[in-house]
Structure 1
Amino acid sequence: MRTRLSTEQRREQLLAIGAGLFANRPYDEVWIEEVAEIAQVSRGLLYHYFPTKKDFFASIVRAQRDQLLQMSEPDPALPVAEQLRAGLDVYLEFARTHPDGYRIVHRAASGADREIQEIREAGMAANATRILDAVSVLTPVTEVTRLAVRGWLTFVATTILEWLDQPKITQEELRDLGVRTLFAAVGVTP
C-alpha cells in the first residue's frame, strides 16, 4: 500500500532509495522503474520530482555532499589540529554510518559527466577553503600550500573509500593518519 508523504518527505525518500542503489551499482544498472517500485510510486511521479535520471543522480550527489559539508562545519574556537580532527571524525563517522552516501559523493566524479564533476568539485573547494583558513593561522598560504591541501583532500577521500571496502585499521588510526599527512603536506607542526 502506498504511503502518503509530504512533497519534501517524498523527495527525501526517493533520494535515499537512489543513494542506496547508486552506491552499490553502476549508473547504467540503476533503473528509475526500480526506484519507483521500491518507493511504491508511479514512474511519472518520480519524473515529476526529477525530470531525468541524470537530474535524479545529480540531486543525490548534491544532497549527500551538502549533508556532509553541513555536518563537518568547523568550530573556529578550537585549535587548528582539533578542528581538523573534529572534521575528520565527522567525515569518518559519516562514511561509516552512510557508506552509500559517501561512496556516491566520492566515486561519482570518476567517469561522470560535467555536472556531477562540478558538484564534487564544489565540495572539494569548500573543504579546501576551510582547511586553508585554519592552516593560515600556522603558516602563510602559498600556491604550494593550496596544492598540498587539494592533494591531501584526494588522499583522504581515497583512503576512506579503501577503509570502507577493507577496514583493516580503526577509525581513530585513519583519522590520525589524515591529521599527520595534512600537517606534513603543508610543512607545519601543529
Structure 2
Amino acid sequence: MNVSQQGAVRPHRARGTERSLARRAELIAIGRKLFADTSYDALSMDDIARHAHVAKGLIYYYFQSKRGYYLAIIQDAVAGLVALAASGVELPATDRVYRTIDSYLRYAEHNQAAYRAIVSGGVGFDAEVHAIRDGVREAIVATIAEGAYGRRDIAPPARMGLLGWVCAVEGATLDWIDRPALPRETMSDLLVRMLGGTLRAIEELDPAHPAPEPARRHA
C-alpha cells in the first residue's frame, strides 16, 4: 500500500471510530433510562437488548457483560456529576462554591436513579462501584477546597472536615430527592451555611486554612 492509499484509509477508520463511540454512548443513554425504572437484578441482557432494539451480542461487544454495562453507566453518570460540580472556574472562589452546590443538587434532582446508584455504591457491595463513589467524593472535596482556599492540596484536618460535609450532603440530598419539601434554592442555601460552619471549624483547628469571608458572615 502506498502513501496515498494509506491516507485514503485513515478517514474511513476515523469515521468508523466516531460511529463506534456514538453507538456506545447511545447504549449507555438507553441503559441509564432502563435502570432508572427497573432494578439491576430485574433486567436481563435479553431485556436490555430488546429495549435497545439491538442484538444482545452488540452489548457484549461493547461492554463484555451485564455488570460491565452497568459499570459503564455508573462511570458515565459520575462524569456528568463531577463535570457539573466543577463548572464555573471563571467565577470568584466563593461564588464557585455556590455554583458547585447548586450544580450538585440539580444533577441529583434530574438524575435520581443515577445519583442513588453512585451514593449507595451500586448493587450490593460492589468494590468497583464503591471505588467510583469514593472518587466522586474526593473530586467534590477537591473542588470545594479550590473554591474555599484556592488550592487542592489541603492538610488532613481540612480534608476530613470537607469529606464529612460531603457525606452529610449525600444523605441530605438522598432524603431531599425522595421527599422534596424544600425548594432547590433553599436546600442549596442550607448546605452552603452548613459548609460555612465546617469551614469555620476547620479554621479553628488549623489557622492555615482560614474560612472565606462569606462563611464568616453567616455566623
Name the TM tier (shorter chain). Answer: 0.7 to 0.9
The residue aligned with 2:115 is: 102
Mapped contact 1:74–1:130 kept (Cα < 8 A): no
Does residue 17 of the first structure (1) align with residue 30 of the second (2)?
A: yes
Which whole-Å deviations, capped at 9, do the CAs of 1:107-137 have from their partners, x for residues lacking one? 2357331111111111211111121222225
Q: Which amino acid is 2:191 matched to?
A: G
Which whole-Å deviations, capped at 9, do the CAs of 1:7-36 have from their partners, x for residues lacking one? 223222221222233334433222221111
Range that drifts further, 17-26 or 32-41: 17-26
Structure 2 alignment gaps of length 5 or more: 1-17, 201-210, 215-219
The residue aligned with 2:76 is: 63
Q: Which amino acid is 2:46 matched to?
A: E
Does residue 149 of the first structure (1) align with residue 165 of the second (2)?
A: no
CA distance in 2, matches of 1:186, 1:65: 26
The residue aligned with 1:48 is: 61
SS in 1 for 2:41: helix
Q: Greater RCO between the two (CA within 8 Å, min separation 6)? A: 1
Residue 68 of structure 1 deviates from its aligned partner by 1.6
Of 91, 113, 118 in structure 2, the residue corresponding to residue 78 of structure 1 is 91
> TM-score, with normalisation over the residues of structure 2?
0.75
Which whole-Å deviations, capped at 9, do the CAs of 1:132-181 have from their partners, x for residues lacking one? 2222259x943222111111111112212211111110000110111111
> TM-score, with normalisation over the residues of structure 1?
0.86
Range that drifts further, 170-179 or 73-82: 73-82
Q: Which amino acid is 1:152 matched to?
A: W
Mapped contact 2:40–2:123 kept (Cα < 8 A): no
CA distance in 2, matches of 1:114, 1:19: 20
How many residue pairs were aligned? 185
Which whole-Å deviations, capped at 9, do the CAs of 1:79-104 have from their partners, x for residues lacking one? 33311111111122222222232222
Q: Which amino acid is 2:78 matched to?
A: R
Q: Which structure's CA Rg is the greater one?
A: 2
Q: Which amino acid is 2:181 matched to?
A: K
Mapped contact 1:89–1:175 kept (Cα < 8 A): yes
In angstroms, what is the RMSD of aligned CA positions? 2.3
Structure 1 pair 7/29, CA: closer, same or farther in 2 (3 Å)?
Answer: same
The residue aligned with 1:186 is: 199
